[in-house]
Structure 1
Amino acid sequence: MKVTVGPAQYVREAGILTAAGSYIRNFGKTAVLIGGKVSVDIVEDTLRKSVSAEGMSLLPSLWYGGESSETNINRLVDKLLSQDFDVLIGTGGGKAIDTVKAVAFKLNKPVVIIPTIAATCAAATPISILYNDEGEFIGIGRESKAPELVIVDSTMLLKAPVRFLIAGIGDTLAKWFETRATIQKANPTALNQTAFAIAAQVYKTLHEIGHEAIQSVESSTLTKAFEDVVDAIILISGSVSGYGGDDCRTAGAHAIYSGLTIFPECHQSYHGEIVAFGILAQLCLESKEEELPNLIRYYQEIGLPFTLEQMGISELTDYEWNKLGEITVTIEDMANMPFEVTPEMVIRAVKQADGIGQEFLSISL
């Protein structure tokens, strides 16, 4: 048995970026910062001062490339092979973080992650989600480093647009629904039952204080609710698959997310927003339609999409529907469902979820 639960160390504190060097110095004398353009702009100056105060140097920063694709990963590896450095620092959202974890794996370097948004659990997982250069989902990359250290500056995350936090809640809600489905195929063990309990607690936390955390961002007020939700999204949710392994993986909701990425219209929606709709479709796959009304009402409360139109998809041709169904069932996440799923079942579930969502949308207009 081999278990990789998450990062070796997770530090979350208001304003901690100014002290980041005191943690990063444990990994060497020279670091390279890689991330999104906006994230690097936010982090770099403070980080450079912090590591310099600890006798470290920060080499010129690098842009990750815009997609966590093999092209960008290999480009960065080639560039860094000729540089002498001790540790990689990744910053930004999920795609930037996943890119840096994959680069660290290929270069066999320690990696520190400084997320600038709380939109996924990428900072605390040992995998990388891979896309092609156009942003279409390709697969789950396991040639990826589990971070040695994650530094979460809650003051910095509080300043990020609230939509990122809402998307993070959507992505994290899926932990419960997908774990509840995948564990049906497993023999009970101490590990997977613990993971199942964690998933249930994360779902309960988000329902109880998710809206309060969103209000914290909207009012620019740092609260315990906000920090608890940040921890749930970034760290705790990642530990579900960490403890549960293959028994508690992503399933139908993420498979449907991946299938929907074939439509360019969806690329304006964030990962967690599309996953949130994927949860509704997964419930229809499981014949649990009775759970949709309460969940959609929660989506309405916090601002998650519950129709295709809200994600930019106004109409699909028969060809596009068939393509969606055919691609979605090839995604490895779908194999984690406790029953075989056909393209026709996917099409029917997505249409059903969208139809129920439209009914709620018409009522609220």
Structure 2
Amino acid sequence: MRTIEMSDYTVGENCFEAIPETLSSYGASSVVLVGGERALAAAAPGIKAVLESTDIEVLDTIVYGKDSTRTNVNRLLANESFAATDVAFAIGGGKAIDTVKTAALELNKTVFSVPTICSNCSAATAIAVIYHDDGSLEGYAYPPCPKHIFINPRIIAEAPAEYFWAGVGDALSKQPEVEWATSTRELGHTASLGLALAHTCTEPLMTWGVQGLEDVRADRSTEAVRQIALDIVVNTGYVSNLTNQPDFYYNSTLAHAFYNGSTGIHRPGRTHLHGEVVSFGVLVMFAYAGDTAQLERYAKFNKQMGLPVTLAEIDLDESHLDQLTELAHNTNEWRQANPVAFDDKQFIAAIKAADSYGRSLS
């Protein structure tokens, strides 16, 4: 027996108006609002305003922390309001939403998500990434997906543009990773549906991405921003839920193995966002697969978007590659989502090849 769940969603600048009716359909009489400081400042006033004329009580507004760590999950579990609420609103980006989903799983709480940035698909997924306090990857949790998503393009447009930029980078991985991970498998209905939906993920990014980023940098809520937000949150999120199942994992492969390995390498320089690093990992995957045409296509788009096309842009160099590869061995992507058994030397050669091509574009 298999049960497939997908989040319902409401999209639009007035999407919060649907909150009371949606809560009523779940019999909720109380909520908590959980997120980062900036995300709560952007969304909490609008949510509270629509609840003022209802009998639904806002028990607390909780700043979750700054990362999706076990420490922050435990802090939520110890919060009396979180334990008492009917519905937890997970507000913010992937780290905030993953923290809320993971804590809610342990207490069997219903989650609604409000992505205030579209840096990844966490607002729709039945998976959560958990890190150690030092920023290295601990692993994945598998909570239910949020029951409902409220997508407000204006809030996303007015958030820092770097998160929109990195979200495009992360979403670029979905279609090619799923296509590659499934390429040697005999697929059942669920995985086939996930693959079919994965085919819809790349073109909106390449069609709307450059304009959307320009609009977000100008705080403009436009059709380009809406299209990118829907692609990142809904399209890639639904694909994730269909391709991440107890008996198979095709949700991500070598691009994310590269990213996950990189989290254990401590190097100077600025902090690099998840999608930023994943976007270079996509180039590594194409190099590994020997798909020169797609490597060139995606690298040129990265260049247009200002996403990385070289190791230096993510503060890595060839001296890190042995350690990165060793760390990548520990990931689901390396062990489960490989269409062929991955080879260390070929992986390192692919990283060097992607970097070399990227440097040729400078």
Q: What are structure 2's unaligned runs of at least 5 residues?
A: none
1:277 to 277, 280, 288: 280
2-structure distance, mates of 1:70, 1:185: 35
Query: 2:263 — aligned with what?
Result: 261
CA deviation string 1:92-142 (max 9, x = no partner): 110110000011111111111111001100000011111111211121111
- 1:163-242 counterparts in 2 under 5 A? 163-242=162-241
Matched, 1:300 2:303: yes
Identity of aligned pairs, percent? 26
Runs of 4+ deviating beyond 6 Å: none
**TM-score, reference length from structure 1:** 0.91
Q: In the alignment, is the contact (CA less than 8 A) between 1:36 and 1:91 conserved in 2?
A: yes
CA deviation string 1:236-295 (max 9, x = no partner): 111113233435321110111101111234771111111100101111221223432221
Q: Secondary structure of 1:185's match?
A: coil
**What's the CA shift for 1:25?**
4.1
Which moved further from structure 2: 334-343 or 254-263? Answer: 334-343
CA deviation string 1:51-101 (max 9, x = no partner): 222222212321222221222112211223885321111111101100000
- 1:151-166 counterparts in 2 under 5 A? 151-166=150-165
1-structure distance, mates of 2:75, 2:289: 42
* Matched AA of 1:310: E
2-structure distance, mates of 1:81, 1:20: 20
1-structure distance, mates of 2:361, 2:82: 57
* Matched AA of 1:146: C
2-structure distance, mates of 1:163, 1:356: 24
* Matched AA of 2:215: S
Q: In the alignment, is the contact (CA less than 8 A) between 1:25 and 1:54 conserved in 2?
A: no
Which moved further from structure 2: 184-193 or 55-64? Answer: 184-193
Structure 2 CA distance for partners of 1:140 and 1:82, relative to 1, 3 Å? closer
Structure 2 CA distance for partners of 1:217 and 1:77, relative to 1, 3 Å? same
Query: 2:325 — aligned with what?
Result: 325
Matched, 1:77 2:80: no
Q: In the alignment, is the contact (CA less than 8 A) between 2:130 and 2:141 conserved in 1?
A: yes
Structure 2 CA distance for partners of 1:165 and 1:181, relative to 1, 3 Å? same
1:286 to 278, 285, 289: 289
* Matched AA of 2:132: N
Q: In the alignment, is the contact (CA less than 8 A) between 1:12 and 1:153 conserved in 2?
A: yes
**TM-score, reference length from structure 2:** 0.92
- 1:1-365 counterparts in 2 under 5 A? 1-7=1-7, 9-17=8-16, 20-27=19-26, 28-80=28-80, 83-142=83-142, 144-245=143-244, 246=248, 248-265=250-267, 268-313=271-316, 315=317, 317=319, 320-335=320-335, 336-361=337-362
